Amino acid sequence: MTETVLANAKLVLPGESFLGSVVIRGGRIAAIGQGGAIPAGAMDCEGDMIIPGLIELHTDNLERHIQPRPKVDWPHANAIIAHDGELASVGITTVFDALRVGSIVTNDRAQYGAYARALATEILQMRARGALRISHFLHLRAEVCSETLLEEMEEFGDSDRIGIVSLMDHTPGQRQFRDISKLRDYVVGKHGMSDEDFADHVASQQALRDRLGARHEAAAVENARRYGATLASHDDTTAEHVATSAAHGVRLAEFPTTVEAAQACHDHGIAVMMGAPNLIRGGSHSGNVAASDLAQMDLLDILSSDYVPGALLSGAFLLAELWDDLPRGIATVTAAPARAVGLRDRGRIEEGARADLIRIRRIEGSPIVRGVWVNGARVG
């Protein structure tokens, strides 16, 4: 059996870090040692950090590769491989690829079609053929303000590696777009709507939510149970939103928009995930609560790269500095996301765990990935 030894490294374990070595055997962490000794045949890590591979629960990055320009549909196999390689290059070893389910097909101005089932099949086929470097699961973003959510979710089953179902509600006037002017800026800029078109769009979306929203929300919760997936909320804004989420069995809150909602999540035992770009930029681009504020209040548990894969690692180190606690900062992108979705085999450096590891060196304060191992095999 092939053995790899990473020696003379600063190991970051739950609650502690020290100079030591890791033995990888059979895709697992076989042993952990302390001290800077470099056994014969070992890789000298020259004092670099070894941390668990990063776990990404919510990323739109694949969409950028599928559609690199407006109205350009890039060959999907090439896009999936590029997406996979980009994530590996920044230390992400497990990803939950976010795919929207729930479409609008009758409104000419707000029309968007179904794509999730076909793209999910392509991802899973690429995985089965050994074409991907890292571990891929699916994250279905269930848009309750839509026309086709029920039909689209029925196309998936418990064999589709669905790890997360998130309850998405982008109805104008609530949650992320509680401030209609922020929605106007986004929609008018993206779709070139006139003021009259925008008013019609808002009215039609609100009517659609009134007609189908409750039915869709209940179906999404039930389908998450059918898949065996973790249920997540999205953009909770009030304590009432969080109480509803808790009643549904939500375990993960994606991007709560206010301190009130984040505090309510913790009161209900729901893990709070915020975007690393929000943390790095110093605030939300939508005008919602700053991730750094939640971190300082001890209301932030997990980071997501959201739309910038490289932000995940940088964000973890920013939190480590803010809290003056390296293991805690690293846990927000490793152990905490693993725990939130029930992945017990990864996210920590401990004997018997899956050998998903990355080697990090800080250069002028920035963390640089110098090696990536997935299930014991080097992929970067």
Q: Return the structure tokens found at 340.
A: 């939130």
Residue 247 CB burial class (10 angstroms; 0-12, 13-18, ≥19): exposed
Read off φ and ψ for residue 29, nearest 5 degrees. -80, 110
Distance CA 101, CA 114 (A): 7
Distance CA 262, CA 214 (A): 23
DSSP state of 68: S
**pLDDT tens for the chain, residues 1 to 380:** 689 999 999 999 999 999 999 999 999 999 999 999 999 999 999 999 999 999 999 999 999 999 999 889 999 999 999 999 999 999 999 999 999 999 887 765 556 789 999 999 999 999 999 999 999 999 999 999 899 999 999 999 999 999 999 999 866 656 666 666 656 555 655 556 666 766 676 777 777 777 777 899 999 999 999 999 999 999 999 999 999 999 999 999 999 999 999 999 999 999 999 999 999 999 886 678 999 999 999 999 999 999 999 999 999 999 999 999 999 999 999 999 999 999 999 999 999 999 999 999 999 989 999 999 999 999 99
- Give bridge partners of residue 373 from the DSSP assignment: 357, 378
Token pair 């929207």 is found at 100
What is the CA angle 316-309-51, rounded to 5?
A: 40
DSSP state of 372: E
Do residues 52 and 347 make contact, with C-beta atoms less than 8 angstroms apart? yes
Q: pTM higher than 0.85, yes or no? A: yes
Q: Return the structure tokens found at 18.
A: 């020290």
Domain boundaries, the chain: 1-51+348-380, 54-345
Spatial neighbors of 278 by CB under 8 A, at least 6 apart, are 255, 284, 285, 290, 291, 306
**What is the predicted pLDDT for the residue at 190?**
55
Distance CA 85, CA 91 (A): 10
- Buried-exposed string 343-368: b where 16+ CB fall within 10 A, e elsewhere: beebbbbeeebbbbbbbbbeeeeebe
Q: What is the DSSP string of 246-279?
A: HHHT--EEE--SSHHHHHHHHHTTPEEEEEHHHH
Q: Return the structure tokens found at 111.
A: 């029309």
To 10 degrees, the CA torsion angle through 276, 282, 284, 285? Answer: -100
Query: What is 1-51+348-380's CATH number, 2.120.10.30, 2.30.40.10, 3.40.250.10, 3.10.450.50?
Result: 2.30.40.10
Distance CA 285, CA 282 (A): 9
The closest of 141, 207, 265 to 274, measured between CA atoms, is 265
**What is the predicted pLDDT for the residue at 226?**
97
Distance CA 256, CA 297 (A): 14
The CATH homologous superfamily to which domain 54-345 belongs is Metal-dependent hydrolases (3.20.20.140)
**Fold match, 1-51+348-380 / 54-345:** no
What is the CA angle 211-216-217, rounded to 5?
A: 115
